[in-house]
Amino acid sequence: MIGIVMFVVGMLMLLIGFPVAFTFGAVSVFFGLASGVIASLGDGGTLMEGLDAGARMFAFMPHRIWSIMNNTILISVPMFILMGIILQKSRLAERLLEAMGFLFGEIRGGLAISTVLVGALLAASTGVVGASVVAMGVISLPVMLKYNYSKSLACGTICASGTLGQIIPPSVVLIILGDVFQLPVGDLFEGAFWPGLTLVAVYILYIAIVSFFNKEMAPSIPKSELMHSKSKQVVNAFKAILPPLILIILVLGSIFEGIATPTESSAVGCIGAMILAWIYKSFSFKMIHEASMETVRTTAMVFAILIGATAFSMVFSYTGGDEIIAEVMRSLPGDKWGFIVVSMLAIMALGFFIDFVEISYIIIPILAPIAEAIGLSPVWYALLIALNLQTSFLTPPFGFSLFYLRGVAPSSVTTMDIYKGVVPFILLQVLVMVIFTLFPEMYGVSMMLK
C-alpha cells in the first residue's frame, strides 16, 4: 500500500500549493527510500541496507532523463510553443477578432460566435492556451461588455474558446499522449481534427440558441457602429484569416499527407510564424528574443514536471501501486464500459486539481496497458483522454483558463461570473465526449482493436 499512500501524499502537497515538479521529485525520493527501509527491516536487515536498496532504485533515473531529452517526438513541443508565442506577439488575435467581430456583429451573439471562430483559428495556428485566453480576454471581453453581453456568457465563451488549442492540432496534449501511448503523433492529429471542429460547432450552436431565446444575454451591435459596406467587412475578414489559414495548411497538411513529421512541420511552423510577423510589420530581433525566452521558460516548466512525474511513476510502479490500480480496474463490472466510465471520471476528477502533464505521465501509463488488454484502440482511447483533459483547463478551482482570464478581466467581472460562465461549456465538452464514445465511426476512428 506504499504506492497508494505515496499518491495521496503527492495530491495533498499539490493542494497545499507546493510546486508540481519538486513535489513529485521529493515525494518519489522519500517513498523510494522508505520502501527500501521497510523491505530491509522486514527481512531482518539494517536501516543502512534499506537506504542503500532504496537509493539503488534511482540508478536508472539518469537513463530515463536522457531518453526524455532524446525523444524526437517531444522536440516538437518547444517548437510549437515558439510558433504560438511569435504569432501571439504579432497581434494575430487582435486582427482576427476585429475583422470577425465586424462580420458577425449585426446578429445576436455575433461577438461571442466570432470569439469561438477566432479561438479555433488560434488553436490551429498557435495551440497556446494562455496566449489565446489572455488575447481574447484583453480584446474581446471589453467589447462584449460594452454591448451589454452577459458577463458569464462572455467569460465562458472566452475560456472555452481559448482551450480549443488542447484538442485542435497542433496540440501539446496530443504530442505528450503520443509519447505516452507510443503512437504516431500524426495519427492523433488527424483523429482529433473532427472532434475539435465538433466542439466549435456545439459552442456556436449553444450561443445561437441562448441568444435567440434571451435577447438580453447577447445583443447585436447597432448598425450605426458597423461598417456600412458589407463587402468591405468580408474583404477585411478574408485578409485577416488567409495568412494564418495558409500556415495551418502548411503545418497540418504536411503532417496529414505524410510529407513531414510533426517535429519537422513544427520547424516549418516557426519559420512561417516569423514570415507572418514580418508581413504584419511586427517582426524584430527583440521580439524573437522575447519569444525565445518565454519558450525556454515554458518548455523548462513542462520538462521539469515531466522528469518529476517520471520519478514518481517509477517509484509508484516499484512499490506495486500500479498493480493495485490495475487489479481494481480489471475487476470493475461492465467489462470495457465499466473501465471507460471509471477511468474518464477519475481523469476528470484529477483535472480539478492537477495539470494535464502530470495526469499524462502518472495516471495514463497505468491505464493505457489495461485499455489495450481489454481490446480498446489506443488511438481512440488517447483521443478520448485528450477531450477529457481539455476540461481540466475550465474546471474550478485550478482551471488555468480561469486564472488567465481573471488576470486580465476588468474589476467589474467577478470570479463567480467566470465560474458560472464555464459550467455550460464544461457540460458541452462532456456531451461531445459522450458522442465520441458512442459513435466513434462518425469521426473515422475505431473504438476496438481490429
Determine the residue type at 396: P
Could you report the per-residue pLDDT of 81-110, keeping only the tens digit for each?
Answer: 888 788 778 777 777 777 776 777 678 888
Nearest to 195 by CA among 88, 114, 123, 122: 123
Q: Is the per-residue pLDDT at 334 higher than 80?
A: no
What pLDDT is recorded for position 28?
86
Give the model's confidence band at 47: pLDDT under 50 very low, under 70 low, under 90 confident, else very high.
confident
Averaged pLDDT, 9-19: 79
> Do 315 and 56 touch, CB atoms closer than 8 A?
no
Residue 447 has what DSSP assignment? S
Could you report the per-residue pLDDT of 385-426, keeping only the tens digit for each?
Answer: 999 988 888 887 767 788 778 888 888 888 888 889 999 999
Q: What values do phi and psi take at 448, rounded to 5?
A: -100, 155
In a domain, 399, yes or no: yes
Tell me the C-alpha distance between 218 and 174, whole Å: 34
Tell me the C-alpha distance between 357 and 359, whole Å: 5
In a domain, 26, yes or no: no
Could you report the per-residue pLDDT of 173-199, keeping only the tens digit for each?
Answer: 888 898 889 888 888 988 998 999 999
Averaged pLDDT, 37-47: 77
In a domain, 5, yes or no: no
Q: Who wins on pLDDT, 233 or 335?
A: 335
Tell me the C-alpha distance between 170 and 190, whole Å: 10
Q: What percent of the chain has a predicted confidence (pLDDT) above 90? A: 14
In a domain, 353, yes or no: yes
Give the model's confidence band at 123: pLDDT under 50 very low, under 70 low, under 90 confident, else very high.
confident
In a domain, 227, yes or no: yes
Q: What values do phi and psi take at 414, rounded to 5?
A: -90, 165
Tell me the C-alpha distance between 289 and 347, whole Å: 37
**Cβ contacts of residue 106 below 8 Å, gap of 6+?**
220, 221, 223, 226
Nearest to 364 by CA among 427, 303, 409, 322: 322
Kindly state the cell numbers that stand for 185.
503523433
Give the model's confidence band at 437: pLDDT under 50 very low, under 70 low, under 90 confident, else very high.
very high
pTM of this prediction? 0.84
> Do 396 and 402 touch, CB atoms closer than 8 A?
yes
In a domain, 306, yes or no: no
In a domain, 129, yes or no: yes
What pLDDT is recorded for position 200?
94
Nearest to 248 by CA among 291, 189, 314: 189
Could you report the per-residue pLDDT of 201-247, keeping only the tens digit for each?
Answer: 999 999 999 988 888 888 877 766 555 556 776 777 777 788 888 88
Computed over every residue of the chain, the mean pLDDT equals 83
Give the model's confidence band at 25: pLDDT under 50 very low, under 70 low, under 90 confident, else very high.
confident
Structurally, how many domains does the chain consist of? Answer: 1
Q: Who wins on pLDDT, 309 or 192?
A: 192
Quick one: CA torsion of 373, 378, 381, 384, rounded to 10 degrees? 170
Could you report the per-residue pLDDT of 361-382, keeping only the tens digit for each?
Answer: 888 888 888 888 888 999 999 9
In a domain, 36, yes or no: no
The domain containing residue 438 runs over which residues? 71-283+320-443
Q: What percent of the chain has a predicted confidence (pLDDT) above 70? A: 95
Kindly state the cell numbers that stand for 398.
485550478
